[in-house]
């Protein structure tokens, strides 16, 4: 399922409130549409790790598709996944923020959805984490990283200039940064893309007819796509997919 179906699925089960930050409205939830499309292009294999699963919105997406998922973070287990048989939670040790408590070559796929750029805030570093993810992946295993902040994104630059954003990413990336980081860790990058020109989380402030209807969200998506096509350099996010090189 893609965004509209997943959003409806969460609302039907009463889980969307658990993920309010990205799923406060349909238009905001579409910030993950690119990620879902990328996932559909790959064979994920057997054991999947949602590295830094947080409140579990992406783990829930995976289990909703019948994919057994291990969630890992420093937080409490996600409430909406406590009784999900396809989900297994492992809590990390925040005093050792880089090391993963998993055997080498354990996973076929590892996901980082809005996590890699934050590891420095907990005492870790992106290079160390990438090497640990490489260790935990099987030969030829897949690392899918999304919601990585673009160094040239316009939203935070404007927000800083006018004092309207409370949080700013300390670590931002270019495509060359991503390729260098992956190469150093032993990955081969298979694809890189940019997405999300509009400030999706702020769309929750719009009238319901725009933010929470298929027609309104579709109009917003069309504007976002057009702006992304015209000025990809200034979009908010990168995603990339990389293979473990033996």
Q: What percent of the chain has pLDDT over 90?
A: 83
Q: What is the mean pLDDT of residues 26-41?
A: 96
Count of the separate structural domains present in the chain = 1
Q: Are 112 and 143 in contact (CB under 8 A)?
A: yes
Residue 246, Cβ density class (10 Å: 0-12 exposed, 13-18 middle, ≥19 buried): exposed
Q: Per residue in 183-230, pLDDT tens?
A: 999 999 999 999 999 999 889 889 999 999 999 999 999 999 999 999
Range of the domain at 25: 3-244
Kindly report whether the global pTM for this prediction surpasses the value 0.85.
yes
How confident is residue 46, by pLDDT bands cut at 50, 70 and 90? Answer: confident
Cβ-based neighbours of 9, under 8 Å, separated by 6 or more = 1, 64
**Alpha carbon of residue 224 to chain centroid:** 18
pLDDT at position 117: 96
Read off the CATH number of the domain in which 113 is found: 3.40.50.150
Q: So what's the pLDDT on residue 19? A: 81
Give the closest residue to 108 by CA, choosing from 243, 220, 211.
243
Nearest Cα to 25, choosing from 7, 6, 2? 7
Q: What percent of the chain has pLDDT over 70?
A: 98
């Amino acid at each position: 399922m893609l965004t509209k179906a997943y959003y409806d699925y969460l609302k039907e089960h009463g889980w969307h409130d658990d993920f309010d930050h990205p799923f406060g409205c349909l238009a905001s939830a579409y910030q993950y549409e690119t990620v879902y499309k990328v996932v559909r292009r790959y064979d994920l294999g057997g054991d999947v790790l949602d590295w830094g699963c947080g409140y579990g919105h992406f783990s829930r997406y995976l289990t909703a598709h019948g994919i057994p998922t291990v969630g890992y973070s420093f937080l409490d287990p996600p409430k909406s996944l406590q009784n999900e048989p396809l989900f297994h939670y492992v809590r990390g040790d925040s005093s050792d923020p880089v090391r993963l408590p998993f055997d080498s070559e354990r996973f076929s796929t590892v996901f980082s959805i809005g996590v890699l750029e934050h590891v420095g805030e907990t005492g870790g570093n992106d290079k160390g984490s990438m090497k640990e993810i490489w260790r935990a992946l099987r030969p030829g295993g897949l690392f899918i990283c999304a919601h990585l902040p673009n160094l040239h994104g316009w939203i935070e630059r404007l927000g800083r200039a006018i004092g309207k954003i409370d949080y700013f990413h300390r670590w931002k990336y270019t495509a060359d940064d991503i390729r260098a980081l992956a190469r150093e860790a032993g990955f081969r990058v298979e694809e890189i893309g940019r997405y999300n020109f509009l400030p999706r989380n702020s769309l929750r402030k719009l009238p319901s007819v725009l933010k929470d209807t298929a027609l309104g969200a579709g109009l917003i998506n069309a504007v976002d796509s057009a702006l992304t096509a015209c000025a990809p350099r200034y979009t908010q996010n990168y995603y990339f997919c990389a293979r473990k090189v033996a």
